[in-house]
């Protein structure tokens, strides 16, 4: 699906839907796949929200992954 996104408005729509849900998705096998696809498909400035959420909640995410 993400390979078909080519308009800035489509990228913005997907980004807006994912904002605030990156950590929750990262804890789930299918959700991680979604985050990985966004990171591979979106330009760097459009995926900055992922980095911000991970940096803000890094300890929480690390505990879930390694526990």
pLDDT attached to residue 66: 56
Q: Which residue has the higher pLDDT, 50 or 2?
A: 50
**Closest of 20, 19, 14 to residue 1, by C-alpha:** 14
What pTM, to 2 d.p., does this model score? 0.78
pLDDT attached to residue 61: 77
Residue 3 has pLDDT above 70, yes or no: no
Tell me the per-residue pLDDT of 4-59, one tens digit each, with 9 for 90 and over: 777 888 888 989 999 999 999 988 888 999 999 999 888 888 899 999 999 998 88
Backbone angles phi, psi at 55, to 5 degrees: -60, -40
In 1-67, DSSP assigns E strands to none
pLDDT attached to residue 1: 67
């Amino acid at each position: 699906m993400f390979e078909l996104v080519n308009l800035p408005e489509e990228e913005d729509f997907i980004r807006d839907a994912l904002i605030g849900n990156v950590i929750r998705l990262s804890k789930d096998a299918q959700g991680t796949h979604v985050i990985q696809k966004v990171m591979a498909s979106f330009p760097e400035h459009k995926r900055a929200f992922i980095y911000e959420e991970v940096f803000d909640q890094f300890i929480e995410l690390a505990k879930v992954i390694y526990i």
